[in-house]
Every structure is written in C-alpha cells, then in structure tokens.
Amino acid sequence: METTIRSKGLTKAYGEHTVVDRLDLDIEVGEVFGLLGPNGAGKTTTILMLLGLVEPTKGSIKVLGLDPRHYPLEVKRKVGYLPDAVGFYDSMTGRENLRFTARLNGLDDSEDEIDSLLDLVGLDEAGDQPSGEYSRGMKQRLGVADALVKGPSVLILDEPTTAIDPEGVVEMLNLIRRLAKDEGVTVLLASHLLHQVQAVCDRVAIFVKGKVVAQGTPHDLAKVEEGGQVRVEFRLGGDPAKGRADLESLGTVSDVAAGRVPGSWVAELDAGSLAPTVSGLVSKGADVIGVTRLDEDLETIYRRYFEIHEEAAV
Amino acid sequence: MTAVTGDVGAEEVPAAESLRVGGWRTVASKEIADHLLSGRFVVLMGVLGIATAAAVFAASGGIRDVAPNAQGITALFLKLFTVTADPVPFPLIVFVGFLAPLLGIMFGFDAVSGERSQGTLPRLLSQPIHRDEVILGKFVAGLTVVAIMLTSLVLFVSGIGILRLGVVPTPTEISRLAVWLVFAIIYVGFWQALATLSSVLAKRASTSAMIPIGVWLVLTLFGSFIFGAIASVLSPQDGTQTAEVAYLRTVQSVSQLSPVTLFQQGSSVLLDPEVRTVGLVTVEQVDRAIVTELNLTQSLAVVWPQIAILVALTSVMFALAYVAFMRDEVRA
C-alpha cells in the first residue's frame, strides 16, 4: 500500500513541556485514520506540524511524499484542513467564504464546484446567508465544504462533529466514508469521541499526553488487548440475582460484574465458549434478552489507557 | 536535516504545477471589499466629509474676506488647506494630520487579531499561500482604501474651493497637492503598520487598538514636552544665547524622530510655497530677506529629510509587523 502521511519520531516541545512525543504514523492512501485522544493530547499540534504550520522540535514528516517544512505550499495545495472551532468571515456569505478559499488555491472558476459542495454538506439553502448568522454546526459543515474546495487528496479533520446534532453526525460520518471509498481521499480524523472514530475509521491511534499508546484496526486493538478472552454483556430478564447465579453456575465465565442496566451482567469468558454459555443459560430457563460482545468496543481500551496515564501523571 | 529526511524515504521534488503566485492580491481584494462595505468605512467617510466641509467653508470664507488684499498671491488655491478661519479652529492640513493616525489604526488594528478572534487564521494559513502574502495583502488593502478616502477628500475640498472662490488650481498647485497626498498616505501607512504590528502581538482586537492609540496620544499631546526633556539632557542650557540655540536645534532634531512632527513640517512646506525652511530661523536670517515663492523642486529639497525619515519609519514599522507575523506560531 502507498503511504500518504508518514512521520517518524515526530516530537514537539514547548520548552520543557513535550506536547507530541516521538510519534510514528503510517497512513495509507484512501484510509480513514483516527487520532483518538482526550483534549490536550497533542492531536491539533500534530496536525499543525503535518501542515507545516508548526515547526517540529525533532523527527521527520512526509505528506504525499513531501516534507511540509520544505514544500509547505505544495502540501497545503493538496491537503484540505478543517480546524477545530473553525471560523469564517462573518460579513461574507458561506458561498463567498468558499469562493475566497478557492481563489487562494488558484481556482478562479469554481462556482459549480461550490454549488455541489454546499449541496453535499446540506447548506444549499443557507449558502447565501452571511456566515455570521450560522450556528456552530452549520459552520462546521461549511468547514468541511471549505476543506474540500481545493479538491484535496488528503483531508484532515480536527474534531469535525463536536457541534453537530446527532443526525448531522451520521451524515458527516457517511460523507467521510464515501470520500475515502469513492474518491480515494485519505482522511485523518482527530477526535475525542470514541464511538464516532470507531464507526468510521479503518485504523485508530490512541493518543494520550503526546504519545500513541496503541495503534491498529479497532478489531486488532481489541484482540491484542484481551488475549483470547472476550467480554460479554448478558441482559437477562426476571430476577437479577437469579440471573447472576445462573450465569456463574455455568462455570464458563469469570469476573461477573453489574452491567449498564439492572439485570445485565458483564463477564469475561473464552471466545470459544460463548455459544455453550448462551445455550446453558437458556437450558437453565433464564430469559436471555440480549448478548453483546464488548471487547471490540474501543471504550474498554480507551478507558484503561486513560486511567493508566492519568495515574502515571499523578 | 538530510539524515532526518532519510528516515521516511527520499523526498520527491514536486512539479511546479498550478501554484498561484501573488496570492496577496486575492487577500488584498477581499480585504478591500471588506473595508469598503464595513460600517467603519461609512462612519469615517461621513465624519470626514462633514468635518472637511466645515473646515473648507470656513477657510474659503476667510480667504474671500481678505481677497481684496490678496493681490500677487499666486498659490491662493492651496490656502484652502492651510488657512485658519472662524469658526473652525484649525486648518485642513492640521485636521488631516490629526485624522491620519486614526485612519491607519482603524484599518490596521484588527488585521491579524481579527482573524484570530474569528477563528479564521488557521484556515487562512492552511491555504497554499505564503504567510507574507497575508500580511502584505492586508497592508496594501488598508492603504488602498486610505488612498481612496484621502484622494476623495482632496477632490472634495478642491471642488468646494473652486465653487466658493472661483479660483482654479494651477498645474503647480495640483502637483503640490499630489505630492502631499502621497506624503499623507505614507504617513497613514506608518500608523497602519504600527497598528498591524500591535494586532500581531496582541491576542485580542481591543488590546490591539489600545497600543497605537496610546502611542498616538502620547506623541500628539506630550510630544513637545518629551522632546524638550530629552533635548535638555542632551544639550543643557546655561543661559547663554549659544546654548539656547543649541538646545532649540536639539529639540528640532529629536522631534524629527516623531512621525507627527515630520508630517506637520512636510505638509507645511509642500502646501505653502512661501515656507522656506522648517528649521530654526533667527531674526538676523530673515532680516531684509526677499519674500519669494519656492517652486515644487525647491520645496521638495527643503523637506527631503522629512520625506526620507517618514518613509524609513513606515518601512521599519512594516518590517517589524512582518517579522512578528512570520515568527508568530499557530498554537493548538
């Protein structure tokens, strides 16, 4: 696979404070790559270094085969960027803002393109309103259109969904997937919202306090972390205490703990023993409402790393 | 650097394709449109128009009153800009001198801080243009709008003058006005560059406006006091006439570091052919001197230092703003 964004030992320190610590990235063409981490983890700084807007302290970067320090314009010509808390010129309409970006990219005749982009992000009707009147969510959607105006081969999105309503989020995530699948655009998505990253990304790097603590597909990450053991949530009807007793009596599960709702139990078990466990429960007369595997959920890993690193910091 | 680059593979040299040169023009044209449509432009234009009209009516009235005795005054038209008459307490050039800093500050103070507070700076800087094109485009745009305003002001005054006095400016007067106009635009440029510098350094637009306004007030209100104080240290007075002259000369030199003084001196010479010097003149020197008028070349020769210093100050100020902006790092 061809590599689009690659960094090695990428480090940024402000004085004593290291914001990004020896980051290695390898993002392939057409991939949706998630940088998942809490606020202040160094995601934005990493992005700014990829764009050549912040000088790395150490390490090397290649974006589309070019070092952004040497060829910033060539890189910026091909990389669309949606900044966190994106802003627009309030007195200009959404369309005028896009037109300005197009001109800065040397594209003079881009009206059709702008029309279809406004349509794509659902701002076809609001396109001629001053952007000062837009809601935060609308600005964010305009920001996506703005990043796409130049026809980029790489799209870097910094917290693209924070101010968007749930319905809009689904649309946005679908759009991101479509751009990657159909247009072959490589997407780097930085977010602290786990479920969205998990829903849309091919690969994820979990980024905490400037360091990548885990990297891989959501599936791989889960496997590596759990080592054959899976965590399953059983939702059982009837008396919760009886449900728990039934579950434990089967002998296939360990570490039974209360789940998210009353009557649901989270347990660890061998991946191969899931079917026998379920049939065992049924044969004991338990009312099985639902069975959910939790281990593919990044949340567990994310939480764990979070906790470990919070502790380390204290 | 080479060793580091080697880590992630050899670098391809990009083809020189569709990269726009002169992105500053795009920035400038957007900024000019912004300025012309902005509320501050309309307000400034209105205030300027009213104040100018008042000043020029008063001046032309004053000139008409003395017109019978004005035989032989050739540069009568320029008097519109330099004469004081009731009820307006100052001539037009003083008014422009007063207003120019405000114009410069108005069009410079939010150049960068405005982008920051609107959240547009990261987006702008991630476009394929050089950083210097951003600041250059903004500076050029501000000065263009200022040039439009000052030129229309001069034309407005001339129009009223022609109507009220019935005097048409001579070619010499027109060229004097043109030179003065350029001089005034450079003067505004100094203040705009200062305001731009301040807008790079200050994080908020309101803070960014305070710095140049402070400098302007200090130079205007306390300028002579400060220059006097500096001069009295550099050349102490001991009561003799020589020391007194030396002191006054030092005041002169020191005050010429202030763009306010430079503009006043330059304007008075450029718009009044009878002014032969901006320096210290003793009674002996003017005794029995023949009052003649200078031509434009001679006037320019008199104020050449003022023009040169003002251009230098403006360039230095812009260079500082430029460097500050280039070094200003985008922070996460």
| Structure confidence at residue A304 as a pLDDT band (50, 70, 90) | low
Supply the pLDDT for residue B5.
Answer: 41
**Residue A8 Cα, gap to closest chain B Cα (Å):** 7
Q: Does A235 share its domain with A209?
A: no
Quick one: average pLDDT of A30-45? 89
Domain residue limits, chain B: 23-221+256-276+294-327
A140 pLDDT higher than 80: yes
Nearest to A71 among B14, B26, B124 (CB): B14
Supply the pLDDT for residue B33.
Answer: 92
- φ/ψ (deg, to 5) at A24: -110, 120
Supply the pLDDT for residue B3.
Answer: 42
A133 pLDDT higher than 50: yes
The proportion of chain B whose per-residue pLDDT surpasses 70, expressed as a percent, equals 87
Q: How many CB atoms lie within 10 A of CB A296?
A: 17
pLDDT digits over B217-244, tens only? 999 888 888 888 888 888 887 878 888 8
B332 pLDDT higher than 80: no
Q: Does A197 share its domain with A273?
A: no
Task: Identify which of A220-234, A239-253, B169-183 has the greatest average pLDDT.
Answer: B169-183
Closest Cα in chain A to B2: A60
A313 in any annotated domain:
no
Q: How many CB atoms lie within 10 A of CB A132?
A: 13
| Structure confidence at residue B1 as a pLDDT band (50, 70, 90) | very low
Supply the pLDDT for residue B124.
Answer: 93
> Which of A183, A216, A249 is the last residue in one of the domains?
A216
* Interface predicted TM-score (ipTM) over 0.85: no
Question: Per the structure block, which two tokens stand in for B273?
Answer: 């052919």
Q: Does A153 share its domain with A39?
A: yes
Q: Does A210 share its domain with A229?
A: no
Of the candidate ranges A89-93, A272-276, B70-74, B276-280, the one whose mean pLDDT is the lowest:
B70-74
Q: What is the Cα–Cα distance from B23 to B37, expressed in whole angstroms?
A: 22
The proportion of chain A whose per-residue pLDDT surpasses 70, expressed as a percent, equals 91
Q: Does A177 share its domain with A265?
A: no
Question: Per the structure block, which two tokens stand in for A83?
Answer: 């900044």
**Do residue B34 and residue A91 have CB atoms under 8 angstroms apart?**
yes
pLDDT digits over B18-30, tens only? 455 668 899 999 9
Q: Does A67 share its domain with A120?
A: yes
Q: Is A89 on the interface with B (CB under 8 A)?
A: yes
Q: Does A251 share its domain with A200?
A: no
Nearest to B19 among A9, A73, A85 (CB): A73
Q: Does A60 share its domain with A141?
A: yes
pLDDT digits over A174-197, tens only? 989 988 888 889 999 999 888 788
Calculated CA dihedral for residues B163, B166, B168, B174, nearest 10 degrees: -60
A304 in any annotated domain:
no
Closest Cα in chain B to A43: B332
| Structure confidence at residue B168 as a pLDDT band (50, 70, 90) | confident
Quick one: average pLDDT of A297-305? 66
B95 pLDDT higher than 80: yes
Which of A55-94 are b and which e, b meaning 16 or more Cβ less than 10 Å from the residue's Cβ?
ebeebbbbbbbbbbbebbbbbbbbbbbbbbebbbbeebbb
Q: Is A55 on the interface with B (CB under 8 A)?
A: yes
Whichever domain contains A122, its CATH number is 3.40.50.300
B147 pLDDT higher than 70: yes
Q: Is A45 on the interface with B (CB under 8 A)?
A: yes
Q: What is the extent of the structural domain holding A227?
A: 223-298
B148 pLDDT higher than 90: yes
Quick one: average pLDDT of A28-49? 90
Residue B14 DSSP SS3: coil
3-state secondary structure chain A: CCEEEEEEEEEEEECCEEEEEEEEEEEECCCEEEEECCCCCCHHHHHHHHCCCCCCCEEEEEECCECCCCCHHHHHHHEEEECCCCCCCCCCEHHHHHHHHHHHCCCCCCHHHHHHHHHHCCCCCCCCCEHHHCCHHHHHHHHHHHHHCCCCCEEEEECCCCCCCHHHHHHHHHHHHHHHHHHCCEEEEEECCHHHHHHHCCEEEEEECCEEEEEECHHHHHHHHHCCEEEEEEEECCCHHHHHHHHHHCCCEEEEEECCCCCEEEEEEEHHHHHHHHHHHHHCCCCEEEEEECCCCHHHHHHHHHHHHHHHHC
Q: Which residues of B touch A88 (CB under 8 A)?
A: 118-120, 123
Residue of A12, A49, A73, A98 to mutate, interface with B, max B Cβ within 10 Å: A73
A1 pLDDT higher than 60: no
Task: Identify which of A268-282, B281-295, B305-319 has the greatest average pLDDT.
Answer: B305-319
Q: Does A271 share its domain with A162?
A: no
| Structure confidence at residue B330 as a pLDDT band (50, 70, 90) | confident
Task: Identify which of A118-127, A238-247, A287-296 has the greatest average pLDDT.
Answer: A118-127
CB A219 within 8 A of CB A296: yes
Place of tokens 């939010």: B110
- Is this prediction's pTM over 0.80? yes
Q: Does A270 share its domain with A179?
A: no
**Residue A62 Cα, gap to closest chain B Cα (Å):** 7
Q: Choose between B209 and B284: higher pLDDT.
A: B209
pLDDT digits over A42-98, tens only? 899 999 999 999 999 999 999 999 999 999 999 999 999 999 889 999 999 999 999
A305 in any annotated domain:
no
A303 in any annotated domain:
no
B271 pLDDT higher than 60: yes
Q: Is A22 on the interface with B (CB under 8 A)?
A: no
Identify the sign of the CA torsion B124, B126, B130, B132: positive
According to DSSP, the residues that pair with A208 across neighbouring strands are A211
B13 pLDDT higher than 70: no
Whichever domain contains A234, its CATH number is 3.30.70.100
Nearest to B11 among A42, A66, A146 (CB): A66
Q: Choose between A307 and A66: higher pLDDT.
A: A66
Count of domains for chain A: 2
Q: Which residues of B touch A95 (CB under 8 A)?
A: none
Residue B266 DSSP SS3: helix
Supply the pLDDT for residue B15.
Answer: 54
Q: Does A201 share its domain with A227?
A: no
Q: Does A129 share its domain with A146?
A: yes
CB A142 within 8 A of CB A163: no
Nearest to B129 among A54, A74, A104 (CB): A104
A213 pLDDT higher than 60: yes
Q: Is B38 on the interface with A (CB under 8 A)?
A: yes
Quick one: average pLDDT of B310-332? 89
B36 pLDDT higher than 70: yes
Quick one: average pLDDT of B241-259? 85
**Do residue A60 and residue B329 have CB atoms under 8 angstroms apart?**
no
Quick one: average pLDDT of A238-253? 84
Q: Is B251 on the interface with A (CB under 8 A)?
A: no
Q: Is A90 on the interface with B (CB under 8 A)?
A: yes
Q: Which residues of A touch B130 (CB under 8 A)?
A: 73
Element (H, E) at B41: helix B39-66
Q: Which residues of A touch B18 (CB under 8 A)?
A: 77, 106
Supply the pLDDT for residue B96.
Answer: 86
